[in-house]
Copies of this chain bind each other. A is one copy, B any other.
């Protein structure tokens, strides 16, 4: 078996460093080094090298990712705004960033998704699984999620790999956007890489415990899905 010794620790430390870089008023730097662009590039190169031997590919990906980091921050801030505006219990943006697990889970998804798109799928998945462990919110980095997304409470939420979500969508705890069943090859093994999870439109609210399954399932715009509902195509 290939060695991945230290990879998990690097990734967890990198996610913490990114949050510290992007939100220095909230997160303390636990490292001895200062977290600047050079740090972010070098450490991402270390991580990507576990999966890619070509140094140019690794360096280009790390540069591209860090060049895009302020766009990621803007996207996360739209999610924070959506969190504040949609929850009567939230008293300020600060409170959303200090207290809401969705800030960590969605923020980590926003970080991991571009790496997934560029083919570093296991790195991206390890990032979102780190957030999953901390928050109970399981967002596959392959999902496509629009702007101003929020999840309230969040424990038990599962969003599968080929899910597509529009803008201004809000979920509550224990919502599953999942697969209905799996196609098999002639040899009985599962077909990998096909569309298996639903599409959700714009301005949708999905209440606690709803389960929406299947790659053909489409929820339109401006829809409210009741709690504990069960929807398949």
Contacts and interface: CB of A to CB of B under 8 A. Distances in A.
A95 interface: yes
A70 interface: no
Copies in the assembly, this chain: 3
Interface residues of A, number: 67
* Contact residues of A: prevailing secondary structure: loop
Contacts of A129: 99-101
Contacts of A3: 25
Contact of A28 (B5, B133, B161): B5
Interface of A: 1-9, 24-28, 85-89, 91, 93-95, 98-101, 121-122, 125-126, 129, 132-136, 138, 140, 142, 153, 155-156, 158, 160-161, 172-174, 176, 178-179, 182, 189-194, 196, 208-209, 211, 213, 227-228, 230
